[in-house]
Structure 1
Amino acid sequence: MIQKLLDALIDIVLWIPRQLFGLLVDAVELMLGWLPEIDIVDIQGIFDGIGGELLYFLTVFEFDYGLTAMMTALIARFILRRIPFIG
Structure 2
Amino acid sequence: MIQKLIDALIDIVLWVPRQLFGLLVDGVELMLGWIPDIDIVDLQSVFDGLGGQLLYFLTVFEFDYGITAMMTALIARFILRRIPFIG
- TM (normalized to structure 2)? 0.74
Alignment match, 1:28: 28
For residues 5 and 44 of structure 1, the distance between their equivalents in structure 2, rounded to whole angstroms, comes to 66
1:52 partnered with 2:68 = no
For residues 15 and 45 of structure 1, the distance between their equivalents in structure 2, rounded to whole angstroms, comes to 54
Alignment match, 2:68: 68
- TM (normalized to structure 1)? 0.74
Matched AA of 1:45? S
Match of 1:39, SS state, is coil
Deviation at 1:56, TM superposition (A): 2.2
**Structure 2 unaligned runs (5+)?**
none
For residues 33 and 74 of structure 1, the distance between their equivalents in structure 2, rounded to whole angstroms, comes to 30
Match of 2:38, SS state, is coil
For residues 78 and 86 of structure 1, the distance between their equivalents in structure 2, rounded to whole angstroms, comes to 11
Deviation at 1:48, TM superposition (A): 1.8
Deviation at 1:59, TM superposition (A): 1.6
Deviation at 1:13, TM superposition (A): 0.7
Alignment match, 2:41: 41
Deviation at 1:83, TM superposition (A): 7.4
Alignment match, 1:8: 8
User: What is the identity percentage for the equivalent residue pairs of Structure 1 and Structure 2?
Assistant: 87
Please, which moves more after superposition, 24-33 or 75-84? Answer: 75-84
